[in-house]
Amino acid sequence: MVVLLYGKLRQIAGERQIMASGTSVRSVLNDVFTQHPWLEEAVLMDGRIRTHCVLTINGQIIIDLDTPVGEADQIALFPPVAGG
C-alpha cells in the first residue's frame, strides 16, 4: 500500500511516498522503518506514535497501532505541524 510522507519525514526519507505492506498499522510501519531506519526515531517513541505526530488512514486520525489495514488503504504520516 501507499504510505505518504510530509514535511521533515519527507526530507529524512528523500521520498514523497513509500510502498509498504502489512495487515496492521504496526506491521506496515515496520516495513517502512526497514526501508528507512531513521524514520522510526522521528515517528515513534516508546512504541507509540510520537506526541504531535499525526497518522491517518484514508484521512481518519489513528492512534492505535494495531488498527487493521488493507491493500487499498492509504496511510499518511505527518511530523509535528503548527500554525494558524
Cβ count near 54 (within 10 Å): 16
Question: Binding of other proteins at residue 45 (CB under 8 A)?
Answer: no
Binding mask 55-74 toward other proteins (x if CB under 8 A, else -) reads -x-xxxx-x-----------
* Binding to other proteins in span 2-21, by CB under 8 A: 4, 6-8, 10
* Identity of the residue, 29 or 57, whose beta carbon is nearer to other proteins in the bound complex: 57
Q: At residue 30, what is the residue type?
A: N
**Binding residues for other proteins (CB under 8 A):** 4, 6-8, 10, 51-52, 54, 56, 58-61, 63, 76, 78-84
